[in-house]
Amino acid sequence: MTAAPHLPRRIVIAGGGTAGWMTAAALARTLGPLASVTLVESEEIGTIGVGESTIPPLVAYNRILGISEAEFMRATQATFKLGINFENWRVPGEAYFHSFGGTGKDHWSAGFQHFWLDGKTRGHAEPYSDYCLELKAAEAGRFAHLPDDRMNYAYQLDSGLYAKFLRRMAEADGTVRIEGKIAQVELCAQTGDIAALTLQGGRRIEGDLFIDCTGFRALLIEGALHVGYDDWTHWLPCDSAIAIQTSSVRPPVPYTRAIAHEAGWQWRIPLQHRQGNGVVYCSAFMEHEAALDKLLSTVEGDKLVKPNPIRFRTGARRKQWHRNCVAVGLSGGFMEPLESTSIHLIQRAILRIVRMLPAGAISAHDVAEFNEQQMTDMEQIRDFLILHYKVTDRRDTPFWRHCAGMDVPGSLAHKMELFRETGRVFRKNEELFAENSWVQVMMGQGIVPQSYHPVAAKLRDEELTHLLSSLREQVSRTVAALPPHGDYVARYCGADVPVAA
């Protein structure tokens, strides 16, 4: 008779914030009495706390944990997000929209962009954006839940309030929180695994599996286990940011703005109770004072907090799981916030931990698989971010000339040239960004396909005209029936905050 598996009984999470409490909430709710979950954090240590813009997989994550969407949005002062408006990226003064969901109607043999490209040769001048429901709803400032989840969306939220919301949930499910600063990470002399965390004051926290959520400090995975770091700043040169929160001056729009400037970009994220703002820049091309002046001279509303400067190094730990320690969040690496992937990478790591949770001794094969999947995720996201900087007509500043001239990973170069020559995009290994995301950004940044799939030419002129016009009409009719986004948020999940005039 086979013995029943024994899960690691003691799971210790080092660090709180969004990463720590997302991890605690998922483990405590999933495992219940099968394991003890302990989280160690200090109120004296601040969190980065600017992960306010998210992507659609968070909707599924909250559903997995049984979280009421309206309750969660009310608690985090959240609004809905249908995509990102990229301004000044290809050239100053122009914009394009990276929306969630699909555009038009794909054929099994070819994506909709091939039919749209063929239509252009036959005199159909309507833009690609006219065929995307989420994009046109965002432009109109409208939103509602639709039957069959036809509207793809994410959230714009207060990440600090999200952490507090998850903390309440995790503690109700049995997570034990311990207040204190980690003074030492104790390794087992025989195995090299982490044996315990020693806090200032001498308290010792033993565990079987340790989750490193200590942010950029990476006290466990790097400080104690020295796994190494792959630095990607030669491809993603921005290394600094300044964040600030301001009061709302108008109803919130259902999208995030990413506004390119001479040495990076700025974000604007509308929540129910305030707006998140920030400037991202490359310190080799812009001084801190110039970046601060750019931020403060362009924000709207009253400033609610002091500007928060952040230094970072885009890249990834060479191992996200090593021995009995798993890195989650910034301890595992950093993708700059251009496409709102920070919380998503936390979520992916947590779900993989749950799926690969050892039933006793840790399997080297599990560790290898986890590390391969995490690195694949990060490299694919890295390539998508590089695309925004590399493919541009901007040559107006040293920063943009540097970006245009830099070499890119072979994986990205292949994807760009494939689309340029054939209009095709292929998604690999559960890649986060779907075909339509690549199409929107590549065309938005200035890549024009030189050809398209021959199946598109199969449609007669009247058939193509009917297809294109019916798709546009369906989008237009649906958007016209949607309520204003601010009104819908107020009814569905409105928090007790002043409403902008």
Q: pLDDT tens for residues 395-424?
A: 999 999 999 999 999 999 999 999 999 999
* In a domain? residue 123: no
Could you tell me the pLDDT band of residue 297, with boundaries at 50, 70 and 90?
very high
* In a domain? residue 87: no
- Give the pLDDT confidence score for residue 500 in this predicted structure: 42
* In a domain? residue 196: yes
**Residue 93, token pair as written in the block:** 């003064």
User: What is the distance between the alpha carbons of residues 264 and 501, in angstroms, rounded to a whole number?
Assistant: 32
Per-residue pLDDT for 197 more than 90? yes
Mean pLDDT of the region 307-330: 97
* In a domain? residue 203: yes
Can you give the three-state secondary structure of 352-420, one letter per residue?
A: HHHHCCCCCCCCHHHHHHHHHHHHHHHHHHHHHHHHHHHCCCCCCCHHHHHHHHCCCCHHHHHHHHHHH
Which ranges in 4-46 belong to alpha helices (H)?
Answer: 17-31
The answer for 314, left when phi > 0, alpha when psi is -120 to 50, beta otherwise, is beta
* In a domain? residue 295: no
Helix (H) or strand (E) holding 346: helix 342-355
Q: What CATH number does residue 162 fall under?
A: 3.50.50.60
* In a domain? residue 104: no
- Give the pLDDT confidence score for residue 303 in this predicted structure: 96
Per-residue pLDDT for 186 more than 70? yes
Task: Give the tens place of pLDDT for each residue, 74-117.
Answer: 999 999 999 999 999 999 999 999 999 899 999 999 999 999 99
* CA separation, residue 240 to residues 19, 306, 336 (Å): 21, 16, 10
User: What is the distance between the alpha carbons of residues 85 and 254, in angstroms, rounded to a whole number?
Assistant: 10
* In a domain? residue 279: no
User: What is the distance between the alpha carbons of residues 242 and 308, in angstroms, rounded to a whole number?
Assistant: 5
- Give the pLDDT confidence score for residue 75 in this predicted structure: 97
Mean pLDDT of the region 471-495: 97
The domain in which residue 331 lies consists of: 10-52+158-233+314-362
Task: Give the tens place of pLDDT for each residue, 146-183.
Answer: 998 899 999 999 999 999 999 999 999 999 999 999 99
Per-residue pLDDT for 224 more than 70? yes
User: What is the distance between the alpha carbons of residues 39 and 205, in angstroms, rounded to a whole number?
Assistant: 10
* CA separation, residue 472 to residues 103, 123, 192, 250, 468 (Å): 10, 16, 61, 29, 6
Mean pLDDT of the region 291-308: 96
Per-residue pLDDT for 468 more than 60? yes
- How many CB atoms are closer than 10 A to CB 71? 11
DSSP category for residue 484: B
> Residue holding tokens 């199969």?
458
Number of domains comprising the chain = 1
Per-residue pLDDT for 433 more than 70? yes
User: What is the distance between the alpha carbons of residues 156 and 142, in angstroms, rounded to a whole number?
Assistant: 15
In the chain, the percentage of residues whose pLDDT exceeds 90 is: 93
* In a domain? residue 46: yes
Per-residue pLDDT for 48 more than 90? no
Could you tell me the pLDDT band of residue 9, with boundaries at 50, 70 and 90?
confident
211 by Cβ neighbours in 10 Å (0-12 / 13-18 / 19+) ranks as buried
- Give the pLDDT confidence score for residue 6 in this predicted structure: 66
459 three-class SS: coil
User: What is the distance between the alpha carbons of residues 351 and 306, in angstroms, rounded to a whole number?
Assistant: 35
Are 195 and 202 a contacting pair, CB within 8 Å? Answer: no
User: Which phi and psi angles does 47 have, rounded to 5°?
Assistant: -110, 160
Per-residue pLDDT for 44 more than 60? yes
Tell me the pLDDT of the chain averaged across its residues.
95
Could you tell me the pLDDT band of residue 8, with boundaries at 50, 70 and 90?
confident
Are 21 and 329 a contacting pair, CB within 8 Å? Answer: no
256 three-class SS: strand
Per-residue pLDDT for 429 more than 60? yes
Per-residue pLDDT for 59 more than 60? yes
- Give the pLDDT confidence score for residue 498 in this predicted structure: 46
> Residue holding tokens 């009247």?
462
User: What is the distance between the alpha carbons of residues 381 and 439, in angstroms, rounded to a whole number?
Assistant: 15
